[in-house]
Amino acid sequence: MTNEEPVVDSVAGAEGLEVPDLISRPRRNRKSEAVRSLVREAHLRPDNLIWPLFVIDGSGQKVPIDSMPDCFRYSPDVLVAEAKEAFARGVPAVALFPALPDSLKDKLGSESTNPDGLLQRTVRELKDALPELVVITDVALDPYSSDGHDGILQDGQILNDETLEVLAAMAVSQAESGADMVAPSDMMDGRVGCIRAALDANGFSNVSILSYSAKYASAFYGPFRDALDSQPRSGDKKTYQMDPANCEEAVREVFLDEEEGADIVMVKPALAYLDVIARVKAETMLPVAAYNVSGEYAMLKAAARMGWLDEDAAVMETLVAIRRAGADMILTYFARDVADRL
């Protein structure tokens, strides 16, 4: 920007216009990539990322998920190899979700505490192969429930306190198989305290709780439910997952989880809830996680496949925005690919 060439004088209406002396020129801080890097506020590193993975039984399996292009359901052996690769690229953690056949589902989600269940076996294989990898397991009934709900369904109602007993047993079973963190995603009242007590009573005081504190009843979970075939068979999840219209309530849920012993609190989904992430980050002293959910993944992938978006740029922008909002860590299906590019 020199003062020599009054190019705009040739623009009709701009002749003789006086530009005042500008004291502040914010563009100086954007003048080169090096300067921009000095003043950058939010950063995205592989160690901010948690990679959610779907596991199916068998060996040598890598089954595509239609609504989640480039995401697969892996059998444990392949999953271990994939996790190795991600860990080598700097991703410190994975979150596991088992996809089970209907024959293993029942009203109480009994398979969830089977010591030789798919999830438990996968955790053991992962920890054997990669002792340093943080293995996070999901605590909720839905992958195991013949009703496709996160809690026990009776006469059209989700039973809170009865569900807590199953969740606590599930968390202990996951800890026994070697999980480093259990992540209750069910949204029952009091589950964090109940799980903490059960873990401690069973000698797992070192196992952490990553709580899905503010989990909304969101349409953006659709592709995930395809991946696990875990759609609710009746009704919806609105009596336990939060109303998308609420933010104050998220803070209240976070405070309750803090009191009950959560180690990390989560906001889910991420993109339509950046204000909630920012608010929660301002209110809590605990680390904050955000879940960039399946529907957010699918939207970007679909637009990129249509040629309507530059996928790499849009993914980076999305993830750095979630960090800027206040998330210390992000669960994202892009984790492995992004780590590669960072």
Q: Is 299 in the site for ligand PBG (CB under 6 A)?
A: no
Q: Answer yes or no: are the C-beta atoms of 280 and 326 closer than 8 Å.
A: yes
Binding mask 182-201 for ligand PBG (x = CB under 6 A): ---xx---------------
Whole-number Å distance between alpha carbons of 141 and 173: 13
Whole-number Å distance between alpha carbons of 219 and 327: 21
Whole-number Å distance between alpha carbons of 125 and 135: 11
Q: Is 334 in the site for ligand PBG (CB under 6 A)?
A: no
Query: Half-sphere exposure of 197 toward its Cβ, with a 13 Å CA cutoff?
Result: 11
Closest CB 102 distance from ligand PBG, rounded Å: 17
Closest CB 50 distance from ligand PBG, rounded Å: 12
Residues 210-239 that bind ligand PBG (CB under 6 A): 221, 224-225, 237
Q: Is 145 in the site for ligand PBG (CB under 6 A)?
A: no
Binding mask 150-169 for ligand PBG (x = CB under 6 A): x-------------------
Closest CB 1 distance from ligand PBG, rounded Å: 46
The β-bridge relationship of strands 62-64 and 72-74 is antiparallel
Q: Is 140 in the site for ligand PBG (CB under 6 A)?
A: yes
Whole-number Å distance between alpha carbons of 224 and 65: 9
Reduced to 3 states (helix: H, G, I; strand: E, B; else coil), residue 214 is strand
Q: Is 257 in the site for ligand PBG (CB under 6 A)?
A: no
Q: Describe the crossing of helices 274-283 and 311-325 by its angle, rounded to 10 degrees.
A: 30
Number of shown-chain residues binding ligand PBG (CB under 6 A) = 12
Closest CB 297 distance from ligand PBG, rounded Å: 7
The residues annotated with a catalytic role in the active site are: 215, 268
